[in-house]
Chain A
Amino acid sequence: MVLFIFRRLGAMVLTMLVVSVMLFLLLELTPGNVATKVLGPYSSEEQRNLWLEANGYFEPLWYRYVTWLGSFVTGDFGESIRFKVPVADVLWPRLWNTAILGFWTFALMIPLSLVLGVLAGMREGSKLDRSISVTSIVTTSIPEFASAVFLTAIFVFWLGWLPGTSTMTSGFDWRQLVLPVMVLVLYDFGYVARMTRASMAEVMTAPYIRTAVLKGLPYRRVIMRHALRNALIAPFTVITLQINWLLSGVIVVEFFFAYKGFGALLLEASLNQDIFLIEACAMVAVFVATATQTIADLGYTYLNPRIRFS
């Protein structure tokens, strides 16, 4: 098990290194551009050359990469061109905001989708199953930007119950969190519910469930004791991978509701070609992607004794 964990972690670090090399080559191969981005369009050739020299851009490429990686690992991401402050100063608060949004989305979405998925999967083909399945498919196929407009039209413009944007300018306000969370949950619960349903339906056809039912166990107990344990293994992986989806999926929602999170930051950084911020955001995204994958793998192995390593 320990060896397995180390191998997974090793693979994770390797993936991140490969991505970091690609990112570095993509963004910093032409130093002239970096200087223009940092010093602005009014800067002269002379000023740019001075800046490049002062910041070590005339060193060999491999040396620059190692230095860059070194400062990156120690938390020095450079200064944001757009915000004029160290990248870390904007990145961490924004990531925290997205974590809040993600937490509430998951807190609602997981129970909702699991319950619906299990209910649907319990009796495949029943009326309940069909109505849950149709609802899930419909909500999942409406993109976030459409449901955001739709929900805003209802709750902001028509009923006037909720605030239309979520900038949280004067501190945290749960009312401003309702619409973004609603849009995300609406989009995502259907997918997880469908996966749960499929897993549940498969378990329900397994011989040991039939045996349990036939030997006269109460149906409730068959589900709770025997079916769920096995049926929830697959959804665990799916849910862990949703964290990764959320990190990029929130871009649309954060932009629409002017929520100051990681997604909006990533968008802003790319639109303004804020090189150091893009690098940091991309590395965070890669870290989250590989980390969730590793956690999903480890968790799955732990939960499923059939593939557990000795």
Chain B
Amino acid sequence: MADRHSKALHPYIPELQKLLRKGEIGRREFLRTATVLGVSAGAAYAMAGTGAVKRAQAATEEPKFGGNLRCSMNVKEITDPATYDWSEKGNVARHVIEPLVRISHENIAEPYLAERWEASEDLKTWTFYLRKGVKWSNGDDFTADDVIYNFNRWLDPKTGSSNQGRFNSMTTTVDTGKKDDDGKPVMSTVAAEGVLEKVDDHTVRFNLVIPDLSLPESMADYPALIVHRRFEEEGGDFAKNPVGTGPFALTDFAVGEKAVFAKRDAPWWGGDVYLDQITYIDHGDDMAAQLAALASDQVDCNYRTSIEQVETHRAIPNLTVYDTLTAQCGVARMRVTEKPFDNKLLRQAIQACVDNEEVLRIVYQGRGAVGEDHHVAPIHPEYADLPRLKQDYDLAKKLLAEAGYPDGIKLTIDCVANPTWEQNACKALREMCLPAGIDIAINVMPGGTYWDRWMSTPFGFTSWTHRALGTQVLNLAYRSGVAWNETDYSNPEFDKLLDKAGGILDPEQRKVVMADIEKILQDDAIISQSSWRSVFITANDRVKNIYVQPAEEHHYNKVWMS
């Protein structure tokens, strides 16, 4: 397989294989880089010498057809896939519409609606070969037009999609000709000229403005599900008109109550699908209701088992708790354009108060990895190890005095009520800051309320989902002016280094740049991030081939029930 595609192989692949053999890069790093550069997952595993892709449960039994998989999860509105901001929304839609690339439960980019892809040596030209013979549920063929339609929509500022930041390698900033109240020109971010190129009906070429190594991974994120090319023409409401390429059809949907899917009669491009039906049931925010539903066999699995409930779920017969370490985390982030957080010394004083390892232990029973205030996780391939941050109250007091608060300061942090570990993290932060004279009041609010103000609150505790690469999340959250930049952080030097890191293939060389990037974020102290957490799900033992995907995506196409 590898030989057959050798012509299309990126020139860096042999070098990568050499590094793997020498033991200079790990297996996971090799698999990731190789698959990103267009080697199929199977071929990459073969090169790495580990055989076929392993599932969470070895497929020793013959899969059985039929059954209705019932899953407890919040059912949110799903009107426009381009503006999804919750992985639960993506989970509902994913059974009907699909991404070009999918992140496996091993954190590797797998070809999905895109059969394979190639990158030019400078990582600025990417060619995606789309799967042929894929049909939409309305009978149309899936073609390059669909893909180009979706990208145009995502990059249009009017859509308000977070994909615009995700694919910043495809956009430029232009002057709209208008002036704001201060007389400054109003700038707008739009798709760059000629960035999307239809080569033929099943080939799309992306001519990027800057090199972007994370392009395939970005295409796997939950707002990047591909809708039909007439999505807006036909009403622009996915809940009402769920046309898709996936193996299931949405048959019943009510926000806050349920989402029901039935297997489509038409064959699916991915082969056999075992389940006849998938039913999501919304049990609200009460963890006890979810537990009661699992225990009384009203559902077969859930979206997430909270850390406090893991042991309780384990104690119930017929239930198994699955887990995986992720790059999911919570950040106590400070908005650098709001007083008093525009004062870097104050932010650094807060940072000096926190013992991240201790927070992980108190808040998350130590199940995860220690955070370092720079939002790049040890499981990210480009992670660079920096010296550990130390709790230092003398330094904190000194910084606080220099910041102009010698007698201490009172602050308020906003955080969500559920999941409770987020509140607990804020409580730990509060306790650790008190001795230095920083008195943080905690403003606990329901999720809905917090997520309406997460961008604007001066000091808030925001949870971030898993992303396969560190640079992905940095591009989304800390690059100047992007949609999800909740800290309002704007640092040209940081942006420049981020561009640079996106263009370096060699994981070792990239780490050198990443070290600088991580250091900048750490020194600017815009976030206090104590941990990376493991996530858990619970499933009845009759559910087979189920696993936790690090971004909590539901891949139920190959799940079956015994």
Question: With A36-B452, A42-B483, A163-B296 in contact, do A169 and B289 touch (Cβ < 8 Å)?
Answer: no
Which of B256, B292, B447, B449 is close to A165, meaning CB atoms less than 8 Å apart? B292
Residues of B within 8 A of A43 (CB): 160
**For window 137-151 of chain A, which residues contact chain B by CB distance below 8 Å?**
149
Number of cross-chain contacts by CB at 8 Å: 98
Residues of B within 8 A of A160 (CB): 296
Is A83 at the interface (CB under 8 A from chain B)? yes
Is B398 at the interface (CB under 8 A from chain A)? no
Contact between chains at B281 and A164 (CB < 8 Å): no
In angstroms, how far is the closest chain B Cβ from the Cβ of A49? 13
Residue-wise interface mask of B (426-442) relative to A, using a CB-CB cutoff of 8 A (1 in contact, 0 not): 00000000000000000
The residue in chain B whose Cβ has the minimal distance to the Cβ of A267 is: B284
Report Cα–Cα, A85/B446, bound state, in Å: 22
Contact between chains at A156 and B295 (CB < 8 Å): yes
Which of B255, B282, B292 is close to A152, meaning CB atoms less than 8 Å apart? B292
Is A237 at the interface (CB under 8 A from chain B)? no
Contact between chains at B288 and A272 (CB < 8 Å): no
Residues of B within 8 A of A162 (CB): 296
Which of A36, A163, A258 is close to B286, meaning CB atoms less than 8 Å apart? A258
Contact between chains at A84 and B255 (CB < 8 Å): yes
Chain A residues with a Cβ closer than 8 Å to the other chain, count? 33
Is A37 at the interface (CB under 8 A from chain B)? yes
Residues of A within 8 A of B365 (CB): none
The residue in chain B whose Cβ has the minimal distance to the Cβ of A43 is: B160
Which of B258, B291, B449, B455 is close to A271, meaning CB atoms less than 8 Å apart? B449
Contact between chains at A156 and B448 (CB < 8 Å): no
Is B79 at the interface (CB under 8 A from chain A)? yes
Contact between chains at A260 and B255 (CB < 8 Å): no
Contact between chains at B295 and A164 (CB < 8 Å): yes
Is B367 at the interface (CB under 8 A from chain A)? no
Residues of B within 8 A of A42 (CB): 83, 160, 455, 483
Report Cα–Cα, A255/B418, bound state, in Å: 15
Report Cα–Cα, A28/B291, bound state, in Å: 39
Is B310 at the interface (CB under 8 A from chain A)? no
Contact between chains at A260 and B289 (CB < 8 Å): no
In angstroms, how far is the closest chain B Cβ from the Cβ of A157? 6
Report Cα–Cα, A291/B404, bound state, in Å: 60
**For window 67-93 of chain B, which residues contact chain A by CB distance below 8 Å?**
70, 77, 79, 83
Report Cα–Cα, A284/B295, bound state, in Å: 36
**For window 238-283 of chain A, which residues contact chain B by CB distance below 8 Å?**
255-258, 260, 264, 268, 271-273
Could you give 17 example pairs across A and B, Cβ below 8 Å? Answer: A40-B452, A41-B452, A82-B448, A84-B77, A152-B288, A152-B292, A156-B296, A164-B291, A165-B298, A167-B281, A167-B283, A169-B281, A258-B282, A258-B286, A268-B256, A271-B446, A273-B448
The 6 closest A-B pairs by CB, nearest first: A164-B292, A272-B448, A271-B446, A258-B283, A164-B296, A165-B293
Binding site for A on B (CB under 8 A): 70, 77, 79, 83, 160, 239, 255-258, 279, 281-284, 286, 288-289, 291-293, 295-296, 298, 446-449, 451-456, 483
Binding site for B on A (CB under 8 A): 36-37, 40-43, 82-85, 90, 149, 152, 156-157, 160, 162-165, 167, 169-170, 255-258, 260, 264, 268, 271-273
